[in-house]
Amino acid sequence: MTARRRRSVRAITVRSAKWLLFLAAPFSLLFFETWLRLRTFETDYVSGALRVQIRDLRKSVEKLEARIDGERTMPRLEERATELGLVQPEPGQVETIYARGNDERHPDPAGETGLEVACLDGS
């Protein structure tokens, strides 16, 4: 190769490199924008799936709370009590026990704190 041809090839290479750098900047920006949009779509998809899961879990919680409320009704409690062998107390079997000093309506005159234990006769 001649010196003139080498200079010509070198000049073409340098000009090509300049144009390549000039064109790389906009294409990099376009590539980056596309990548950001894809990440946004992916994030939106995941957040949508999580919203659906949250909605389903809330419905399940509401159903369970309704079931709990249904179990706490008096007819259901009476039914369970008879299943467990519980009976209505006889008159005089119920006694109220207060914790001394812990109840403002019944203060402890001695100023002591603690619990009193009551036992029914025959137990």
Domain boundaries, the chain: 3-88
Q: Which candidate, 118, 114, 88, 82, places its Cα nearest to that of 101?
A: 114
Q: What is the model's pTM? A: 0.46
pLDDT surpassing 60 at residue 72: yes
Euclidean distance between the first and the last CA atom of the chain, given in angstroms as a whole number: 119
* 98 or 45, greater pLDDT: 45
pLDDT of res. 123: 45
